[in-house]
Structure 1
Amino acid sequence: MSCRYIANDTIREETFFYHNDYLGSTPYITDDKANITQNDAYLP
C-alpha cells in the first residue's frame, strides 16, 4: 500500500509516495519519477 502526498508549500508542486513494508513502516519515500527521496532504516 502506498500513500500520495502533494506538497504545495514550495515554489513548484511536488508529489511523494510513501511505501509500506510488511510491518507497516514506511522505509521508502519516492517522488513522481520513482526516484527514492528518503530511505529510513529502523535498527534495533
Structure 2
Amino acid sequence: MERSFGWLEKCRRLWKNCERTLNTSLQFVHLAFLALLLRRLWAGS
C-alpha cells in the first residue's frame, strides 16, 4: 500500500487538494492510478 501512495506523490494535482467535493478528489485519484497503470502497460509492451 505504501508503494501505491509513493506513486501517487508524483501527481502534482493530488498534492494540493483544491477540489470542492470529495467525489471529485476521488475521481482524480482514480485517474492518477489509471494513468500509472497505462504507463506501466505501455512500457512493458
Determine if the TM-score, normalized by the shorter chain, exceeds 0.5: no
* TM-score grouping bracket, smaller chain normalisation: under 0.3
Structure showing the higher helix proportion among its residues:
2
TM-score by length of 2: 0.27
